[in-house]
Chain A
Amino acid sequence: MKYSEDFKKFPKELSDSYNTVQSVASRVLTEEEFLAWEESGLNIANRGARAWESAVEYFRATPDILNKLPFVHLKQWAYWGSLIAEESHFASIAYFKASRHVSDQIKPWDVADWAQLGKKLLGKDSRSGKLSVSYFENSAEILKVLTFSEFKQIILLVETISEHNTDEAAKFIDCASEVLPVLKEDTRPCLSLISNLVRNHWQQSTKCLSMMSSVLARIDTVERSRFLSLSARISEEQNTDVVSFLHESSLALGSVDNYVHVNILNMADRLSRTNPNIVLNYLKGVPKALRRISINQLELWYDLGMSILKDNETAGIAFFSGESSRSEDMLEKLSVGVELSKVKDIMRLYCRALSAIDIDISPEEQGDDAHGKSWVPMDQMLAEGANIYLPFVSEQFDTKDENFDWFKVMATHQIAHLEFKSFQFSFDTPSTQYQDIRDELAPSMSDLISEVEMADFALENEQQGTQQDFGMTEIQRFFAIFKDRPLARDIFTAAEDYRLDHRVMVDYPGIASSYKRVQLQSISNRLPLSELPSQEALVEILIRFSLQQTGTLQIPQKYIQLTSAMWKIIRPLSTKGSIVEDSAEATIRLYEIISNMSNQKPNEEDEEQDFEMDPSDGEGDNEDSEDESTSNSLDSETEEGSDNIQQYQSPQQVDYRGEFKPELMQAISMIKDYQKEHESTEDGISKEKIEQILSEADSPPSEAEKIDPDAKGTFVSEMAQDLDSKGNPQAVLQQSSYAYDSTYDDEDRRGPLEANDPDSFLYDEWDYRISDYRNRWCLLREKEMAEGDSAYFTTTLDGYSSLAGQIRRQFELMSPQGLQKMKRQQDGDELELEAVIEAMVDKKSGSTPSEKVYLRRNKVQRDVAVVFLLDMSASTAEAIDETRRLADEWDAPDDPLEYMFWLRSRRGEGMRRSYKRIVDLEKESIVLLIHALETIGDTYGIYGFSGYGRENVDFFVIKDVQEALSERVKRRIDKISPLQATRMGPAIRHATSKLAGIDARTKFLVLISDGRPQDRGYSREGVEKEYAIHDTRIALTEARRDGVTPFCLTVDKEGHDYLRAMCQDMGYEVLADINNLPRRLPTLYRHLTV
């Protein structure tokens, strides 16, 4: 009570809070203590302008604290509170508030330490108050999971961070209180990682901590601590991005089975001791590798990688990143799985051979997304032949051969639909094995369709106006006679599959054994009959027929009779001459049996019985037996109650069979026919209509689904984009700069590329540092050059008229001089008079005459094919007189953004030109050369190349090797213009492949460039031009290996330096004066090829 008056000086709230607690305090404390307690309160309140607020909290916290702390510590508690209040009343409020909870968790004598720590965080700068506040606020949460000494360690970390940045430190504490409680047993290893981080990369520590729980969730529980200690080791490295390491490596681990984490981390651990920098690459590569090989094989792969790493660090890095050929080869050697991409070409040719139709093989979409499956390919189908689907990888079997066979079986089955004409169903074609009842059924069955449904149907047609235009397809007509179309469709599919599989076995005995193996395997994956409702069970039995063909089936007893009836019906389909219409007839009969049955839930007690599939069965008159069984089924089923009847569901798809969509295929061919007919009049069907028809054919009306409009939209816009970009350099430019925007960072790390369209080509690239090729490293797109004005050609020729004439005359001299006389031959067309006389003289004089008395005319033939490769990089936009200066400025900025800017500015320069650019001289030389080449009839091609980055190498066709010189070619020359960077390797490789297809005795590749190869990522970190030069050299060597003589012509004054490395023993020439190019090029060519 001594100080109550003093309290009055402060706002009333203080006295109030004092009053509420003083009775409690007085009860517990001795008088002396009580006074001390009061005094502390006053002391606190006096510590600053708003310190009274702290005092309020002090009093409020008192009752709790009194219970927990002996008075000695309480006094200390108050003392520290006052010190804190002096610095920041916010902090002290938080301190008093938090102490209620914290005091539960720490020993009383630690309270002072705790307070002291908080105070230490205070002070440094204006924002440290906030840090301290969050320290106090979060202490309780953190202390729940940590001992006080651990807690102290954490706070030491916080202090370290706060030395750099106070806000960050506060965030760190907030984060710690959220994350640490969830980590449980992983907390300690996590802390050691974090403390490592704070030491080495304090900026990343908060972020890492915050993602810790989601990261660890992806990793097997027992391996978490090891993962963390691995991360800790990684974090000790300079310049490590621990955040992305944690994120990406945990994602990678999360995508493989938990039980292999131990092995993967073992390897990662060993790797991290040798080279911590590639652990992430390794971890990222693992899921991909594990898709192909087992974890044990992964060890072998890893060992090879380690041995490479020891010899050559860069090579090892490339190996573990899955970028080197050796890594790929090893994986290939080890894996038993067969990847579709590896065998796609073989399968495509195989299918082409079997069916005589161009088949496109597409990887199956993962999951069962029906839209994804049918939409994009549908448009492809309209454009091309047919499409079959194979999974990405085949790996169910133990050997590579068996897995490959699985692809083959799948392909053979799907192709069988084409080969044995499943899609050419015609309603009116008579069947060969059955009596035709389709026609009779057609009207009577359609009665079954309710009036309402009919009306709906008609209305739909009216609105859409499509069916009227095109009518129904034959197969739609057929399915229209059934009431339950999904059921009919499934029966038809099973019957047709039965027919086809049988046919395949007979016609292709070689594949039969693999086929049987696959069939058996599919059977093992199917649901047992006893678990299916009646109708589905019967359909399933049909599928089993088609899968097993002969032998014994285990059939629940109640189906035995029906099974034998169905067997009799389906059996004739195995006759060799059976056709798709037979399957249709069988479908009608089978449908009758199955649809008469209600779809009852399975009955557990049913016993199974053997059903012998006797091949001789059912050869007799099946009409009778079928009638019988139909009536049987009716009798047996009617008495059952209706509660356990289910909606009919289509059976699961047979693994290897893919989807069978006869309606869709017929609809497509109908549209195609229509388009063909109307091609001339240009009034094709609108895209919407096509989509509509196809979607109707694709999904039965009953379950008609709406096609995702977005999906369509994307497709159309892609198409449009495609059209736009074709051959138009500017459009290409834009496109690639877009591509760049989204993908520029981290480009080297993205590994091998994929080529997805026919005009794209993938090339390996040589990395001299790893002495190996980087797999599928460059994506080259071949495009036709856009067309400009052919006047350019004539104008240029006029401009150089005297030179052109001169060159042409020189070339005419080279052209074969018809027949050349060869004298004194052993054999020939006529006798050579002089030789004959000599021979006679010899003879008369007694010596042996020469037998070489004939004259022979030999045809002298030039047999030269040449490809000119023009550098169309941005640097060719330089004005000619600037060339000298520019030699020093060749180096493009490394930063991608700057680089794009740099490119654009260079191009901009070109736009406003009134002077000649390097590229103009290139063009003029080409014109003159073409003019001259035409006189000697050499085969020649002209291509330009440019690009940006390894995934955007553009290869422009100005004149294809096989193409004749036409107006179009002349127009294309006009469009040669400077574009982007120069990645020579892939362009040379592609040009070489162009020549490979030409039959000529001498082949040349003339590379006309203005500077050394240079592209983003083409001169790698630290090695500058070396990388590009080595790759270019290897590309040139490859060309030579393929019988092509390369020649480099450059206008770069500095050229000597790098050309020497590039061409060593190959031909090269540096033009001292670019203006000489038009004159020099034809001359050079003449000398080269003589």
Chain B
Amino acid sequence: MANKDTYTSYQTEEYYIKEEPFYLPVADEVELFEVAYSQQMPILLKGPTGTGKTRFVEYMCYRLGKPLTKITKKSQPTSTTSIPLMTIACHEDLTASDLVGRYLLQGDETKWMDGPLARAVKVGAICYLDEVVEARKDTTVLIHPLTDHRRYLPIDKRGEVIEAHKDFLMVISYNPGYQSALKDLKHSTRQRFMALELNSPPPDIEAKIIEHESGVSPEISLSLARLGEKTRNLKDHGLNEGVGTRLLVYAGKLIKNGIAPRRACQVAVSWALTDDFQVQRSIDEVTHSIFE
């Protein structure tokens, strides 16, 4: 391809995590994931935004693929030895055919094009449906047979059923906090998954994450982590959602690159979190207490 130098593109089923993502386990979630994977047990990740759900899936994907990499003794894993990660961000217009596939008009004929889910099922990828409650209800028709003992994907339009590859695993995530009751996950769906709850890490762990991700000093990381902790105390008291680690990392990056801490926290934390002036002011005051 002509553009190869300027960007890298992958076929979705060939996207592997090549570098080990940085992930600090808070509890036994890594172990649980591993067991679940080995037992082909679908996983539901719950937790507020910015607590590392996506990062966790990436990390697990890398980790689970790693033993095979070791055997080949090559830094570049091959498609047969590692697990591809297929991330699908769900939105309210995401339909079943977006996942399964559709006919396209090509030249003089129509051609079937597999959707991401169908591809993942075929190659045995970890398919991660992010914010699954956002998707249209008809997608559940696909999720259900894939996540129970049947483990197949029906493709009505072609009159096919695809059996899932043995490595295939469905992981879905949702944030119980902000969706309205209407968008809650149906029980028939949620009872097909093992659920892992990811919450904000304790300050010391969070400080390490911030330190690693942003490169600021341990002191500032700890201060940021404490700011995070304090801010989360405001959840349901003006904030719908506490600050996620991601924002704290942003703040850390800003500080690292020469922005004054108070200002960095203002733009990356208080303004990012809310539009409510009072709440912004309160968070700023906390920031001003913590940072000079």
Chain A contacts to B: CB under 8 angstroms: 345-347, 349-350, 352-356, 358, 408, 412, 507-513, 828-831, 836, 839-840, 843, 853, 857-859, 999
B residues within 8 A CB of A508? Answer: 289-290
A830 and B105 contacting across the interface, CB-CB below 8 Å: no
Q: Beta-carbon contacts of B223-239 to A below 8 Å, as 1s and 0s?
A: 00010001101100110
A511 and B289 contacting across the interface, CB-CB below 8 Å: yes
**Contacts A354-B233, A830-B103, A999-B180; A349 near B278 (Cβ below 8 A):** yes
A residues within 8 A CB of B231? Answer: 353
B residues within 8 A CB of A408? Answer: 285, 289
Q: How far is the CA of A346 from the CA of B97 in the complex (A)?
A: 49
B290 and A510 contacting across the interface, CB-CB below 8 Å: yes
Q: Does B46 interact with chain A (Cβ within 8 Å)? A: no
B291 and A510 contacting across the interface, CB-CB below 8 Å: yes
B98 to chain A, nearest CB (A): 8
For the complex of A and B, 10 pairs with smallest distance between CB atoms: A349-B282, A356-B233, A511-B289, A508-B289, A829-B97, A353-B230, A510-B291, A346-B281, A350-B282, A350-B285
Looking at the complex, which one of A349, A831, A840 makes contact with B237 (CB distance below 8 Å)?
A: A349
Q: Does B110 interact with chain A (Cβ within 8 Å)? A: yes
Q: Does B160 interact with chain A (Cβ within 8 Å)? A: no
Give the one of A508, A843, A853 with max B CB within 10 A.
Answer: A508
B residues within 8 A CB of A513? Answer: 292
A507 and B110 contacting across the interface, CB-CB below 8 Å: no
A512 and B292 contacting across the interface, CB-CB below 8 Å: yes
Q: How far is the CA of A586 from the CA of B136 in the complex (A)?
A: 65
Q: Does B157 interact with chain A (Cβ within 8 Å)? A: yes
Q: How far is the CA of A831 from the CA of B103 in the complex (A)?
A: 7
A414 to chain B, nearest CB (A): 14
**Contacts A346-B278, A349-B278, A353-B282; A853 near B105 (Cβ below 8 A):** yes
Q: How far is the CA of A708 from the CA of B81 in the complex (A)?
A: 81
A residues within 8 A CB of B288? Answer: 510-511
For A835, give the chain B residue with the smallest CB separation: B105
Q: Does B253 interact with chain A (Cβ within 8 Å)? A: no
For B234, give the chain A residue with the smallest CB separation: A353
Looking at the complex, which one of B105, B136, B286, B289 makes contact with A836 (CB distance below 8 Å)?
A: B105
A residues within 8 A CB of B282? Answer: 345-347, 349-350, 352-353
B290 and A509 contacting across the interface, CB-CB below 8 Å: yes
A residues within 8 A CB of B88? Answer: none
Q: How far is the CA of A319 from the CA of B216 in the complex (A)?
A: 53
B contact residues, total (Cβ < 8 Å): 34
For A840, give the chain B residue with the smallest CB separation: B108
A247 to chain B, nearest CB (A): 41
A829 and B234 contacting across the interface, CB-CB below 8 Å: no
What would 15 more interface pairs be, CB under 8 Å, given A352-B233, A830-B157? A345-B278, A349-B237, A349-B278, A353-B282, A354-B233, A354-B289, A356-B233, A508-B290, A510-B289, A513-B292, A829-B97, A829-B102, A836-B110, A858-B93, A859-B136
**Contacts A349-B238, A830-B157; A510 near B287 (Cβ below 8 A):** yes
Q: How far is the CA of A512 from the CA of B110 in the complex (A)?
A: 72
Q: Does B199 interact with chain A (Cβ within 8 Å)? A: no
A residues within 8 A CB of B136? Answer: 859
**Contacts A345-B278, A350-B282; A831 near B289 (Cβ below 8 A):** no
B105 and A509 contacting across the interface, CB-CB below 8 Å: no
A residues within 8 A CB of B281? Answer: 346
Q: Does B283 interact with chain A (Cβ within 8 Å)? A: yes
Q: How far is the CA of A853 from the CA of B102 in the complex (A)?
A: 13
A residues within 8 A CB of B108? Answer: 840, 843
A509 and B234 contacting across the interface, CB-CB below 8 Å: no
13 residue pairs bridging A and B, Cβ less than 8 Å apart:
A346-B281, A349-B278, A349-B279, A352-B237, A412-B289, A509-B290, A509-B291, A510-B291, A511-B289, A829-B95, A829-B102, A830-B157, A857-B95
Q: Does B53 interact with chain A (Cβ within 8 Å)? A: no
B residues within 8 A CB of A512? Answer: 292
Q: Does B262 interact with chain A (Cβ within 8 Å)? A: yes
* Complex interface residues of chain B between 170 and 229 (CB less than 8 A to chain A): 180, 226
B165 to chain A, nearest CB (A): 26
For A404, give the chain B residue with the smallest CB separation: B285
Q: How far is the CA of A828 from the CA of B102 in the complex (A)?
A: 9
B234 and A349 contacting across the interface, CB-CB below 8 Å: yes
B115 to chain A, nearest CB (A): 11
Q: Beta-carbon contacts of B249-283 to A below 8 Å, as 1s and 0s?
A: 00000000000001000000000000000110111
Give the one of A354, A509, A512, A840 with max B CB within 10 A.
Answer: A354
A353 and B286 contacting across the interface, CB-CB below 8 Å: yes
For A349, give the chain B residue with the smallest CB separation: B282
For A998, give the chain B residue with the smallest CB separation: B180
B residues within 8 A CB of A999? Answer: 180
A342 to chain B, nearest CB (A): 11
Q: How far is the CA of A342 from the CA of B105 in the complex (A)?
A: 65
A354 and B110 contacting across the interface, CB-CB below 8 Å: no
For B109, give the chain A residue with the smallest CB separation: A840
Looking at the complex, which one of A354, A828, A829 makes contact with B230 (CB distance below 8 Å)?
A: A354
B231 to chain A, nearest CB (A): 6
Q: How far is the CA of A839 from the CA of B226 in the complex (A)?
A: 62
A residues within 8 A CB of B95? Answer: 829, 857
For B285, give the chain A residue with the smallest CB separation: A350
Q: How far is the CA of A354 from the CA of B283 in the complex (A)?
A: 10
B residues within 8 A CB of A358? Answer: 237
For A844, give the chain B residue with the smallest CB separation: B108
Q: How far is the CA of A512 from the CA of B278 in the complex (A)?
A: 23
A1001 to chain B, nearest CB (A): 13
A350 and B226 contacting across the interface, CB-CB below 8 Å: no
Looking at the complex, which one of B102, B157, B286, B292 makes contact with A350 (CB distance below 8 Å)?
A: B286
For A411, give the chain B residue with the smallest CB separation: B285
B286 and A354 contacting across the interface, CB-CB below 8 Å: yes
**Contacts A352-B233, A353-B231, A355-B233; A346 near B103 (Cβ below 8 A):** no
Give the one of A353, A355, A512 with max B CB within 10 A.
Answer: A353
A residues within 8 A CB of B105? Answer: 831, 836, 839, 853
A residues within 8 A CB of B103? Answer: 830-831
